[in-house]
Amino acid sequence: MLGNLVTGCSVLAPAGMLPELATGLDVSIHAAGLLITFGAIILCIGSPLTAWLTSRIERRTLLTTTLAVLAIGNLASAFAPDYASLLVIRLVMLAVGALYTPQAAGTAALIVPAARRGSTIAYIFLGWSLAAAVGLPLITFIASRYGWRAAYGGIGALGCVSLLLLLMRLPAGLKGTPVDLKTWSAVSRNRMILMLLAITMLQMSGQFVVFTFMGPLLKKLTGAGPDAIGMVFALYGVCGFLGVVIATRIVDTSGPYRTSLLFTCLLLAGITGWALGAGTFVLMAGAVAIWGLGFASTNSMQQVRLVSAAPQLASATVALNTSVLYIGQVVGSAVGGLLFARELLHTLGFVAVGFVVLALILVIMTRSRPATAAPA
């Protein structure tokens, strides 16, 4: 879970300090936002590829090595002399960092009884919620006062601490099911899995249309300063943390489908509130709170539903879900960047709503579909 906190901060960090990166590196805010877009491209390619290449490696060795690369990459980012160097460091760091989130979920499933698998996987994703609840506001606070280099240094230090704790606490000798070409073939024939992956992509695309540029949007639309923007990030993250806690408590009794439907509706309500309230800080902040309840919990439920749909394919499907999550980040941040560059600031919210509406429709369609593979 703490490793996911480091991973989440590493992935999301530029969103919390776009103005500082743009000023410090002498680039536009749109160009600074491309750190997220290009990073997400590497993540979406790297997640299934590295899952395949490393499926036979012992889990503690794999996870600790991944965390070491994330820690070193963030520390190196703090000393990057220019934009090109920072981008290269980020891409190399995330090419390896793509491993952590899916393999952490798969490892957790190995060390708990099947009855607790759903709540445990949801708990693992609390790290991402904490990255938004605590990490992003701290990144915004530190970057606005001490510069973006200090923020990267802080993430690197946190990565070192998490690495040591993982070495001390994670049992040795854990190995997942090897991933081979037959596994990918089975995944491609399972209609439920394909629909669930599409839901993940649409949910994430809708969110990142706005989330990538949330700070600059608040500044341009409402005149909010760094502290107010940091407060909104904190509200988003705290509500995300609460959402995952609630999802973790109800998923084993209510079931993954109902839990997923509930939090997708909250996600849609929040982003709709942002679109309709754009220009009024209080309305936008309130919408972010509702949105936050759904942002991390929806992804946790996607992981749970994928594992439940085909437990024998979990190593591959969890990695693919992480991959399409990052595809969603690519699509959303790219669309948001184009709209932001053209000053279509109000349009961003309504485009985001469209993506999430499509995701909700697919969630409803998966209610009664069987969890069996379709014939070849």
pLDDT tens digits along 293-304: 888 788 778 878
166-220: pLDDT as tens digits: 888 887 777 766 666 676 677 788 888 899 999 999 999 999 999 888 989 999 9
68-106: pLDDT as tens digits: 999 999 999 999 999 999 999 999 999 888 788 877 877
Residue 268 neighbours by CB under 8 Å, 6+ apart? 294, 353, 356, 357, 360
**What pTM, to 2 d.p., does this model score?**
0.77
Domains recognised in the chain with CATH numbers:
2-365 (1.20.1250.20)
**pLDDT per residue as tens, the chain (376 positions):** 899 999 989 988 998 898 999 999 999 988 998 898 888 888 777 766 766 666 677 778 888 999 999 999 999 999 999 999 999 999 999 988 878 887 787 777 677 776 676 667 777 777 877 887 788 888 988 998 999 999 999 999 999 999 999 888 887 777 766 666 676 677 788 888 899 999 999 999 999 999 888 989 999 999 998 889 888 988 888 888 888 888 878 887 888 888 889 999 999 999 999 999 999 999 999 999 999 888 878 877 887 888 777 776 766 777 778 778 888 888 898 899 899 989 999 999 999 999 999 999 999 998 854 444 444 3
Residue 154 neighbours by CB under 8 Å, 6+ apart? 138, 139, 142
Residue 311 neighbours by CB under 8 Å, 6+ apart? none
Residue 348 neighbours by CB under 8 Å, 6+ apart? 209, 210, 213, 217, 336, 339, 340
Residue 239 identity: C
* Residue 36 vs residues 39, 138, 152, 190, 328: alpha-carbon distances, Å: 5, 18, 15, 31, 12
